[in-house]
Amino acid sequence: MLEFRPHFPFAILMRQLILDLLPESPPTLDNFVAGGNAETLALFTEWLAGARVDTSFCLWGETGSGCSHLLQASGFAYVDAALDPALKCAPAAEQLAVDHVEMLNETGQIALFNHFNRLKMSSGMLLTATNQPPAHLAVREDLRTRLGSGLICRLQPLSDGEKAAALAAQARERALKLSPEAINYLMRHAPRDMRTLSGFIVALDQYTLEHKRAVTLPLLRELLINTPEITA
């Protein structure tokens, strides 16, 4: 069987640009698109700065709401319970972030309970994220009580309109001419998380500057077709 190869050099160049840029764009507070979560972000920033005395801060929300982004942006030692349900890799750090608490097994629940108590005694900080309020978690009662004793905030996922507006704003900041049709095409065919969508904007800007090409629907279509790693 003949291997399909892109006919246009830009497809190869753009593919490499995207793949190079995305891993180098780690989640930060600056690249978090707050949308309707401005108040939560402000409280979260205060807590990170030590302006709150609470030991723990629990973020909850559905997939894509940005909980994992903020946990990774916190600078805390990060552990994902979806990958390590027993928290075997959780360090005895003074600032610990545990993602997907709902995925903890019994061993992991005991470990998180012990981490909470340790951090409370040492005036440390525990940041957690889950898909529902702590009071509704199917975990040990003592852990549920501990997590419920700190700050708790829900993150609302961005609407399509908020994502489109954020992409348009990012394009304007770069003086990148991106039509509403182009933004709608990205929204329909690219991954929907803001980190990847923002990566597209950066790569498109870099490509158009270097090759003096306008962003057109055929260009976007060719890019997405020939970059299965980011559209899967």
All structural domains of the chain with their residue ranges: 10-22+159-231, 53-154
Give the separation between CA 175 and CA 169, rounded to whole angstroms. 10
The CATH number of the structural domain formed by 53-154 is 3.40.50.300
Would you say 69 and 195 are in contact if contact means Cβ atoms under 8 Å apart?
Answer: yes
Q: Find residue 151's DSSP bridge partners.
A: 57
pLDDT in tens, 26-53: 788 988 889 899 999 999 999 999 999 9
Read off the pTM. Answer: 0.76
Would you state the structure tokens that stand for residue 135, as one six-digit string? 């009071």
Say how many C-beta atoms besides its own lie within 10 A of residue 80's C-beta: 18
**Amino acid identity of 26?**
P
Residue 17 to residue 37: CA distance in whole angstroms: 31
Query: What pLDDT score does 87 carry?
Result: 98
Strand, helix or coil for residue 95: strand
Residue % of the chain over a pLDDT of 90: 52
pLDDT in tens, 188-232: 887 777 777 887 788 788 777 777 778 888 877 776 765 555 544
